Amino acid sequence: MSTRIVPDMSSSPALARYRAGPAPFALVTGATAGMGEAWAHALAAHGFNLLLHGRSPAKLAAVRDAVLASFPTRDVRLCVLDACALPPDARELEGGVAPLNLRIVVNNVGGSGGHFESVLEMPSQQLVDEITCNAVFPTLVAKVTLPKLRTGGPGLMLNISSIGGIWPSPYISVYSASKAFNRLFSMSLHGEELAEGTDVDVVCLAPGAVVNGRAMQGDGSAMTPLSSTWVVNAIAAISPRPWRQRPKPFIVPHPAHRYSVAFLRLLPNTLANSIFRSQMVALRDESRGVGKASRMSGGGNKSRTPTALGPKATQAEQQQVSTAAPAPALQNGPPAGAAGTQDTAAAPVQPRAATNEVMAG
Ligand X SMILES: NC(=O)c1ccc[n+]([C@@H]2O[C@H](COP(=O)([O-])OP(=O)(O)OC[C@H]3O[C@@H](n4cnc5c(N)ncnc54)[C@H](OP(=O)(O)O)[C@@H]3O)[C@@H](O)[C@H]2O)c1
Question: DSSP of 260-285, one letter per residue?
Answer: HHHHHHHS-HHHHHHHHHHHHHHHHH
**Residue 269-308 contact track with ligand X, rule CB under 6 A, x = bound:** ----------------------------------------
Candidates 67-75, 269-277, 300-308, 345-353; binding stretch for ligand X (CB under 6 A): 345-353
Candidates 11-19, 87-95, 141-149, 212-220; binding stretch for ligand X (CB under 6 A): 212-220
Cis? peptide before 268, omega within 30° of 0: no
**59 binding ligand X? (CB under 6 A):** yes
Residue in 18, 171, 175, 259 annotated catalytic? 175
Within 120-139, the residues that bind ligand X by CB under 6 A are 133
Within 231-260, the residues that bind ligand X by CB under 6 A are none
Residue 127 burial (CB count, 10 A): 16
Cα separation, 272 vs 100, in Å, equals 45
Express the helix, strand and coil content of the chain in percent, nearest 5 each: 40, 10, 45
**199 binding ligand X? (CB under 6 A):** no
**55 binding ligand X? (CB under 6 A):** yes
Q: At what angle do helices 57-70 and 34-45 cross, to 10 degrees?
A: 30
Rounded least distance, CB 303 to ligand X, Å = 28
Candidates 26-34, 234-242, 272-280, 305-313; binding stretch for ligand X (CB under 6 A): 26-34
**216 binding ligand X? (CB under 6 A):** yes
Please answer whether residues 287 and 334 qualify as being in contact, where contact means their C-beta atoms are separated by less than 8 angstroms: no
Q: Which residues contact 250 (CB under 8 A, 6 or more apart)?
A: 183, 186, 187, 203, 204, 206
CB closer to ligand X out of 283 and 347: 347
- Number of residues forming the site for ligand X (CB under 6 A): 35
Question: DSSP of 101-168, one letter per residue?
Answer: EEEEEEE------S----TTTS-HHHHHHHHIIIIIHHHHHHHHHHHHHHSSS-EEEEEE--GGGTS-
Candidates 106-114, 183-191, 237-245, 283-291; binding stretch for ligand X (CB under 6 A): 106-114
Candidates 14-22, 51-59, 183-191, 273-281; binding stretch for ligand X (CB under 6 A): 51-59
CB closer to ligand X out of 301 and 356: 356
Please answer whether residues 154 and 15 qualify as being in contact, where contact means their C-beta atoms are separated by less than 8 angstroms: no
CB closer to ligand X out of 301 and 344: 344
Strand order in the sheet with 250-251: 76-80, 49-54, 24-28, 101-107, 155-160, 200-205, 250-251
Residue nearest to ligand X (CB): 34
**207 binding ligand X? (CB under 6 A):** yes
Please answer whether residues 234 and 205 qualify as being in contact, where contact means their C-beta atoms are separated by less than 8 angstroms: yes
175 catalytic per annotation: yes
Which residue among 49, 108, 260, 294 contacts ligand X (CB under 6 A)?
108
Would you tell me which residues interact with ligand X (CB under 6 A)?
30-36, 54-56, 59, 82-84, 108-111, 133, 160, 162, 207, 209-210, 212, 214, 216, 227, 315, 342-347
User: Which active-site residues does the annotation give?
Assistant: 175
